[in-house]
């Protein structure tokens, strides 16, 4: 299969569509030919706010294509406060979660991904602002109005994703009504090919008011019974649905080089507009649609007779369907006169019309069909619309799930999307390149999982175990690389060293505690003390490490070179004795350092002291090897890391480290360990317990123990020497909670004068009590933002907790009214913890006397700006 430099790969997909909250479930809906329409009871409709008189109207259709739980959101994962999440357009929330899921399915963590990731996204009309927030904020302050704009305007959809996921490519909100999704895809492809970004997140979201039906009116787009019968004689319209879809795009050649999982290939895309040559602004145009389809095929450099399927816009309207097929036929006739060879379908017959996200649903559906080599049915088609001439056209409507027939060339498809207002888009797709068989990898791999809570980690573990059990043929190296490279490390962590996919699935499913390492990374990881005892490894273990781990191999080869045996690294490992023991432990420690383990010191005895001298730069490698064999070392230089001396039982001073005698001595390893245990220092013992195997499994277990303790392992280094391949695996288990404003709630007014104000409770004779009142008031206000007082810590940086500066300006303004004092609006920027803020305010208000405790303030977490302010006040700022 030949490829063009202009080809773009779809390497990740995510969706929340009616009846399908994942790509796998969406494929089930498609191949099973299911419609996801929901019929509502009168009680459900009344509860959703539908007026009773609507229910009695025979034209009111009590059905919809919705998605559940639109009021729920994992705000804490994205460091969004409860208060901000409550006013954030649910479309933005859902799209943000889908964007992260798509990146994880592609196998990329933005924090550790080189290059720029762009965002091209669109949203539908914001009904939440209209129906739920308008009354509550009608009399709100200017700050709250500004916050409402930031939280609800379409302009901020793409940039919010870029901000929350730390994406540094172009970030554009795209909106062309129903064609939004495919216009965004077209724009992203141009940016990728133009070098503006290296990957692109592309998608759209649309939410209709949840749990409601709609009124049918003849001549409008809405179906009288909730069914979309695209291209059928009985077609009378569609039903508007809710949903979101996101894909990750990358240049094909880069995707192949990076080992990405490729769902489908975009060969070409085109966009145009009908102009005024049609019957009205909302009407479709045969000429415009035919032109954009022909342009896309020309850009893709494919002949129409090689296209085996077209995912149509297919709204199921008596007027729109015949126009669309006529336009398709006109475009195809520029390259072929064949009839009846190209399948035609519409995903709207399954999940409804998703408005801005409609084209994305069609794109994902078609990519899945190409990936699986299967055609799926377009529903509710029994007899063709009499105004469509299928017999003389290239098209037939697919009505069953069948194998997509292979031809001389690759399977290809087109996807159309046409927006009200005339912006038309068409994309030409091709099946993914054949995946080469995975090369034989290492015999063991390190699998890592994490989540924000223990409950979330259990869900992630169960999901991965189930996935591996369902797909026992997965390449374990690809699983390990995807988890290590493509997932952010969260607080609650689990690691497993496995020797196969089945082994991993069993250990995870059964929760084998002797195999699963667990830990909580709740702060800066403690730098471990490496315990070096000069313990070697048997020849088989050493050779396994030499063969499997490039960093280990390089260190052994460095030892051989230092011994003037550059061509005999294998011989060094096989000869036994002090040299081999040194070589193994030195290579083991060097590998861990290369993988990102950062020790806080070394504790060594015997040959391990020579290893410590080499690792810390106290001795050159040749001299350290000689020391291991008993030679008197030359004068060492001070080590770069602290070294615990077996002679003194203490950490070597600089003077002691210069004395050769302090780098020799057997010592008692157990005594050193006991001493470190008493000091509460975390240990990393390189020697296996009880003389067990010291091969690859042992090395990976050492790394696993560090990772679950919070170490930021460099998984690129961990997987060095292996061909990195990524796989779609279960993604982050969102821990959602309700963030929702019910309609009709008016906002509270500003603080009132009189006895209700905070100053009315002040005691002039008890300043400390007054400070406590201010602190308690702030805890209550900030707790309301964060979702409860229990979430507020007096010494936590509020900006680090996700509190927005605009919100704090409003809090400061309200506090000023409460205490009848002009509180500086930027105070929280200078003093971003509640304790520091109150201390500063108390001094400004004269509630305390004397200077503040500058040492205590310096020890508290403050912003860079606050530190500069403190430096100015102390007169120590650099000039």
pLDDT at 874: 45
Tokens at 711, concatenated: 């170490």
Question: Phi first, then psi: what are they for 90, rounded to 5°?
Answer: -55, -25
Q: Quote the pLDDT of residue 441.
A: 83
Q: Quick check: 265 and 11 in contact, CB under 8 A?
A: no
Rounded CA separation 62/732 (Å): 35
- Between the ranges 124-133, 436-445, 590-599, 600-609, where is the mean pLDDT highest? 590-599
Question: Which range scores top for mean pLDDT: 278-282, 366-370, 769-773?
Answer: 366-370
Task: Give CA–CA dist 329/413, Å, rounded.
Answer: 15
Question: Which band of pLDDT confidence, cut at 50, 70 and 90, is reported for residue 849?
Answer: low
Of residues 475 and 813, more confidently modeled: 475
Least confident piece of the model among 240-249, 459-468, 502-511, 572-581: 572-581
Answer yes or no: is pLDDT of 854 > 60: no
Is residue 248 within 8 A of residue 13, CB to CB? The reply is: yes
What pairs with residue 232 in β-bridges? 384
**Is the confidence at residue 866, as pLDDT, over 70?**
no
- Per-residue pLDDT at 858 exceeds 60: no
pLDDT at 872 over 50: no
Q: For residue 750, what pLDDT is reported? A: 40
Q: For residue 396, with 0-12 CB atoms within 10 Å meaning exposed, 13-18 middle and 19 or more buried, which class applies? A: middle
Rounded Cα–Cα distance for residues 672 and 677 (Å): 9
Confidence (pLDDT) at 603:
93
Provide the b/e sequence for 65-93 (b: ≥16 CB within 10 Å): bbbeebbbbbbbbbebbbbbbbbbbbbbb
Residue 784's alpha-carbon distances to 343, 577, 715, 790, in angstroms, are 55, 66, 39, 10
Report the pLDDT value the prediction gives residue 850, as an integer from 0 to 100.
53
The pLDDT tens digits of the residues spanning 632-656 come to 888 899 999 999 888 888 899 999 9
Dihedral, 807, 808, 814, 818 alpha carbons, nearest 10 = 150
Q: Collect all residues with Cβ–Cβ distance below 8 Å to 851 and sequence separation of at least 6.
A: none
Buried b (16+ CB within 10 A) or exposed e, 847-878: bbeeeeeeeebeebebbeebeebbeeeeeeee
- The predicted-structure confidence for 59-102, as pLDDT tens digits, reads as follows 999 999 999 999 999 999 999 988 899 999 999 999 999 999 99
Per-residue pLDDT for 170 more than 70?
A: yes
Mean pLDDT of 312-341: 96
Position 832 confidence tier, pLDDT thresholds 50, 70, 90? confident
Distance between CA atoms of residues 420 and 415, nearest Å? 17
Per cent of the chain over pLDDT 70 is 95
- Residue 486, classed as helix, strand or coil, is helix
Mean residue pLDDT across the chain: 90
- Confidence band (pLDDT; 50, 70, 90) for 860? very low
CA neighbor of 498 nearest in space, from 700, 684, 706, 689: 700
The DSSP bridge pattern shows strands 374-375 and 423-430 to be unpaired
Q: Are 92 and 151 in contact (CB under 8 A)?
A: yes
CA distance 555 to 561: 10
- Angle between helix 621-628 and 550-562 (nearest 10): 80
Decide: 771 and 848 in contact? Cβ < 8 Å. Answer: yes
Interval 164-171 mean pLDDT: 97
| Total residues found in the chain within this entry | 879
Options 3.40.47.10, 3.60.20.10, 3.40.50.920, 3.40.640.10; CATH of 8-430? 3.40.47.10
Q: How many CB atoms lie within 10 A of CB 777?
A: 18
Q: Is the pLDDT of residue 859 over 50?
A: no
Q: For residues 491 and 448, give the distance between their C-alpha atoms in angstroms, rounded to a whole number.
A: 12
- Residue 417's pLDDT is 97
> In the predicted model, is pLDDT for residue 869 greater than 50?
no
Residue 857 pLDDT class (50, 70, 90 cuts): very low
Residue predicted with more confidence, 164 or 790: 164
Class of domain 758-874: mainly alpha
Report the candidate in 745, 697, 561, 639 with the shortest Cα–Cα distance to residue 135. 745
Sheet with 601-604, strands from edge to edge, namely 643-644, 601-604, 529-532, 683-685
Q: Taking the C-alpha atoms of 417, 418, 423 and 429 in order, what is their torsion angle to the nearest 10 degrees?
A: 20
CATH 3.40.47.10 segments of the chain: 8-430
Q: Which ranges in the chain are annotated with CATH 1.10.1200.10?
A: 758-874
* CATH of the domain spanning 447-523+709-747: 3.30.70.3290
* Residues 845-849: contacts with CB under 8 Å, at least 24 apart: 845/819, 845/821, 847/767, 847/770, 847/771, 848/767, 848/771
Q: 851 to each of 28, 245, 666, 823, 847, how far by Cα in Å? A: 68, 57, 56, 19, 12
CA distance 696 to 591: 11
d(CA 724, CA 109): 15
Comparing C-alpha atoms, which of 549, 556, 558, 598 is closest to residue 575? 556
H or E element at residue 268: strand 264-273
Report residue 270 as tokens: 């085109």
Residues 741-752 have pLDDT tens digits of: 988 755 444 444
Euclidean distance between CA atoms 424 and 269, whole angstroms: 11
Burial class (CB in 10 A: 0-12, 13-18, 19+), 132: buried
Alpha helices in 595-666, H assignment, sequence order: 607-615, 621-628, 654-657
pLDDT of residue 867: 46
Alpha carbons 85 and 83: distance in angstroms, whole number? 6
pLDDT for residue 751? 40
Residue span(s) of the chain under CATH 3.40.366.10 come to: 529-703
**Phi and psi, residue 875, nearest 5°:** 75, 25
DSSP state of 124: -
Average pLDDT for residues 407-431, to the nearest whole number?
96
Distance from C-alpha of 307 to C-alpha of 309, rounded to nearest angstrom: 6
The pLDDT value recorded for residue 137 is 76
pTM equals: 0.88
Residue 229: its pLDDT value, please?
97
Which pair of tokens denotes residue 335? 């390259």
* 772 or 244, higher pLDDT: 244
State whether residue 25 is helix, strand or coil.
Answer: helix
- What's the rounded mean pLDDT across residues 544-566? 93
Q: 211-215, 564-568, 577-581 — which is least confidently predicted? A: 564-568
* Contact criterion met (CB below 8 Å) for 446 and 439: no
Percentage of residues in the chain with pLDDT exceeding 90?
70
Residues of the chain with CATH 3.30.70.3290: 447-523+709-747
Give the pLDDT confidence score for residue 87 in this predicted structure: 92
pLDDT at 301: 96
pLDDT at residue 879 above 70?
Answer: no
Average pLDDT over residues 42-69: 94
Q: Could you tell me which residues are beta bridge partners of residue 493?
A: 450, 519
Please tell me whether residue 492 adopts helix, strand or coil conformation.
strand
pLDDT per residue as tens digits for the range 653-690: 999 999 998 898 776 767 777 777 777 788 999 999 88
Instruction: State residue 654's pLDDT score.
Output: 94
Q: Which residues does 233 contact at the CB level (< 8 Å), separation at least 6?
A: 382, 383, 384, 385, 386
Q: What is the CATH code of the structural domain delimited by 529-703?
A: 3.40.366.10
Quick one: angle between helices 539-548 and 577-594, nearest 10?
Answer: 30
Cβ neighbors of 878 (< 8 A, separation 6 or more) are none
Whether the per-residue pLDDT at 781 is higher than 50: the answer is yes
Q: Is the pLDDT of residue 315 over 70?
A: yes
Specify which residues 272 forms β-bridges with.
424
Q: Which residues pair with 494 in a beta bridge?
A: 449, 518
């Amino acid at each position: 299969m030949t490829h063009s430099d202009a080809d773009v790969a779809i390497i990740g997909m995510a969706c929340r569509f009616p009846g399908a909250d994942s790509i796998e479930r969406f494929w089930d809906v498609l191949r099973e030919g299911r419609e996801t329409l929901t019929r509502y009871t009168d009680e459900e409709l009344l509860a959703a706010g539908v007026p009773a008189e609507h229910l009695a109207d025979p034209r009111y259709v009590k059905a919809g294509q919705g998605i559940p739980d639109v009021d729920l959101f994992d705000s804490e994962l994205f460091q969004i406060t409860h208060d901000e999440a409550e006013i954030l357009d649910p479309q933005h929330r859902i799209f943000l979660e889908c964007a992260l899921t798509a990146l994880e399915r592609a196998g990329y963590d933005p924090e550790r991904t080189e290059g720029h990731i762009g965002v091209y996204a669109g949203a539908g009309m914001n009904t939440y602002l209209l129906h739920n927030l308008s009354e509550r904020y009608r009399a709100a302050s200017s700050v709250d109005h500004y916050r409402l704009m930031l939280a609800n305007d379409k302009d901020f959809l793409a940039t919010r994703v870029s901000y929350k996921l730390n994406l540094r490519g172009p970030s554009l909100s795209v909106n062309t009504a129903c064609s939004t999704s495919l216009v965004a895809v077209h724009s992203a492809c141009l940016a990728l090919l133009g070098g503006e970004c290296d990957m692109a997140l592309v998608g759209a979201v649309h939410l209709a008011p949840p749990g409601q039906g709609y009124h049918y009116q003849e001549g409008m787009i809405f179906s009288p019974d909730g069914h979309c019968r695209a291209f059928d004689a009985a077609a009378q319209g569609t039903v508007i649905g809710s949903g979101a879809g996101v894909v990750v795009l990358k240049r094909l050649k880069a995707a192949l080089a990076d080992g990405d999982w490729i769902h489908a290939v975009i060969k070409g895309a085109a966009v145009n507009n009908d102009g005024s040559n049609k019957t009205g602004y909302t009407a479709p145009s045969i000429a415009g649609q035919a032109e954009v389809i022909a342009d896309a095929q020309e850009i893709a450099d494919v002949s129409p007779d090689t296209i085996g399927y077209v995912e149509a816009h297919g709204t199921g309207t008596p007027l729109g369907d015949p126009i669309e097929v006529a336009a398709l036929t006109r475009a195809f006739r520029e390259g072929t006169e064949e009839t009846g060879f190209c399948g035609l379908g519409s995903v709207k017959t399954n999940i409804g019309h998703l408005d801005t996200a409609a084209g994305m649903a069609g794109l994902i559906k078609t990519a899945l069909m190409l990936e699986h080599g299967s055609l799926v049915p377009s529903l509710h088609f029994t007899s063709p619309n009499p105004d469509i001439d299928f017999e003389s056209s290239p098209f037939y409507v697919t009505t069953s799930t069948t194998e997509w027939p292979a031809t001389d060339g690759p399977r290809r498809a087109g996807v159309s999307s046409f927006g009200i207002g005339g912006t038309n888009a068409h994309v030409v797709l091709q099946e993914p390149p054949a995946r080469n068989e995975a090369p034989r990898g290492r015999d063991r791999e390190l699998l890592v999982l994490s989540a924000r809570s223990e409950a979330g980690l259990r869900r992630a573990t169960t999901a991965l175990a189930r996935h591996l059990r369902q797909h026992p043929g997965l390449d374990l190296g690809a699983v390990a690389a995807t988890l290590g490279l493509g997932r952010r490390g969260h607080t609650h962590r689990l690691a497993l060293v496995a020797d196969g996919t089945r082994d991993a699935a069993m250990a995870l499913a059964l929760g084998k505690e002797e195999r699963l390492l667990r830990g909580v990374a709740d702060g800066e990881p403690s730098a471990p003390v490496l315990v070096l005892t000069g313990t070697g490894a048997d020849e088989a273990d050493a050779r396994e490490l030499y063969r499997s781990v490039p960093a280990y191999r390089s260190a052994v080869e460095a030892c051989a070179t230092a011994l003037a045996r550059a061509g005999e690294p294998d011989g060094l490992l096989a000869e036994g004795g002090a040299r081999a023991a040194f070589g193994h432990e030195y290579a083991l420690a060097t590998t861990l350092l290369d993988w990102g383990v950062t020790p806080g010191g070394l504790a060594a005895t015997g040959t391990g002291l020579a290893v410590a001298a080499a690792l810390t730069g106290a001795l050159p490698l040749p001299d350290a090897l000689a020391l291991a064999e008993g030679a008197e070392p030359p004068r060492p230089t001070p080590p770069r890391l602290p070294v615990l001396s077996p002679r003194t039982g203490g950490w070597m001073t600089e003077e002691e480290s210069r004395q050769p005698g302090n780098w020799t001595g057997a010592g008692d390893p157990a005594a050193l360990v006991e001493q470190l245990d008493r000091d509460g220092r975390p240990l990393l013992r390189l020697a296996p317990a009880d003389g067990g195997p010291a091969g690859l499994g042992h090395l990976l277990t050492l790394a696993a123990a560090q990772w679950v303790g919070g170490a930021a392992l460099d998984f690129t280094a961990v997987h060095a020497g292996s061909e990195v391949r990524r796989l779609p695996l279960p993604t982050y288990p969102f821990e959602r909670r309700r963030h929702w404003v019910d309609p009709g709630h008016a906002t509270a007014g500003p603080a009132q004068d009189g006895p209700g104000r905070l100053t009315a409770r002040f005691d002039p004779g008890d300043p400390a009590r007054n400070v406590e009142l201010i602190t308690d008031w702030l805890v209550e206000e900030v707790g309301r933002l964060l979702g409860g007082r229990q979430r507020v810590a007096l010494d936590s940086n509020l900006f680090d907790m996700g509190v927005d500066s605009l919100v704090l300006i409003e809090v400061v303004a309200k506090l000023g009214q409460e205490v009848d004092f002009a509180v500086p609006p930027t105070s929280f920027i200078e003093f971003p913890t509640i304790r520091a803020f109150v201390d500063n305010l108390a001094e400004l208000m004269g509630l305390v006397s004397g200077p503040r405790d500058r040492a205590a303030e310096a020890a508290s977490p403050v912003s860079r700006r606050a530190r500069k302010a403190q430096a100015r006040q102390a007169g120590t700022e650099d000039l």
